[in-house]
Amino acid sequence: MELTLRGIAAVQRERIISFQMHFNSQVINRWMMNSNNYLVDCVVWTLLIIFACLRSYNCLRTSTYWKMDGPLNNFVCPTEASYVTRESSIITCGRLCTVRDSCVSFIYNPTTAITDDNCYLNDYELNSSNGCLPINNAKYFKEIKQTFSCHPDDGIYRTVQLSDGDAFTYRVVHTELSMANAQSECESSGGNLAKLSSISRLKLIYELMTTCPGFGGANMYYVDGSDSNSDNVYKWSDGNIIPMTADFWRPGMPNGQYEHCLIVLNTEWLHDDIGCSVAKNYICERQ
């Protein structure tokens, strides 16, 4: 009886092995006959993985920050520039340097006439002011590349260490409210409307809105600042006056007699004035 069972088991094993060999042969033959289909499958899976990476917002991206070099400020160096054009702000001039592979530094001069060039891109770092013209308010920047991770558009506060050492805690809210209601909502979460008081903060918003998936769909966001006395003197909520320079304002702004609140607009992502009752998205800041 025992021998008979062993014999049956041996036969079964042989049948299983034979089936496995036949199955493997069939798979190999099918793969060889339909290799194009398998190639398509591989491409599809690769695209799905890339899509999942983008949806997770954790893909590393190349960004830049700009380090201002004091000794070369207040100079313009037209003879050194590899490319000269006109841009509406430091932010857009710097962005032009970022997308130009050979650019490693730039000078922006906000005081030129409206028809003159004011953005000077350089293919190397400038070490002296030789050949440069002394011009007040011109600023020289070195471009430093870095990597960063985009985050989801989920309205959650996040803290970013900016290039000037500022730890900026902010959240972007895609719910349209009046300025007063937006400020109240920020306060309810322990914050205030965001005070974009430096080039590094403006640069962060520019990068976020123009680079990261899920952002940039809206074109206006309330931020901190107003001329509450209707005197065309704009102040942040802490009482400090907002400089009336091209570093902070869109060209020709502020310009509204009845527009007393501030937004950033999706052209240069600089300040613009707007009526306070208009419903817009907003950016909060928390200390």
Burial of 76: CB neighbours in 10 Å, binned 0-12, 13-18, 19+: buried
Is there a contact between 193 and 158 (Cβ–Cβ < 8 Å)? no
Region 61-146: CATH code: 3.50.4.10
Q: How many CB atoms sit inside 10 A of residue 191's CB?
A: 19
Q: Which CATH architecture has domain 153-285?
A: Roll (3.10)
- For 148-185, letters b (16+ CB in 10 Å) and e give bebbebeeeeeebeebeeeebebbbbeeebbbeebbeb
List per-residue pLDDT tens for the chain, 287 residues long: 333 333 444 444 444 444 444 444 554 455 445 555 656 665 655 555 444 444 444 444 545 667 777 788 999 998 889 999 998 888 888 888 888 888 999 999 987 777 789 999 999 999 888 889 999 889 998 877 655 668 888 899 999 888 778 889 999 999 999 999 999 999 999 999 999 998 888 888 888 888 788 887 778 999 999 998 777 889 999 999 998 887 888 888 888 778 999 999 877 788 999 999 999 999 999 98
Tell if the pTM clears 0.85, that is, is over it.
no
- E strands present in the chain: 60-68, 75-76, 83-85, 105-108, 119-122, 133-134, 139-149, 158-161, 167-177, 192-193, 220-226, 261-265, 271-274, 280-285
Q: What is the CA radius of gyration of the chain?
A: 29
Name the residue ranges covered by the structural domains of the chain: 61-146, 153-285
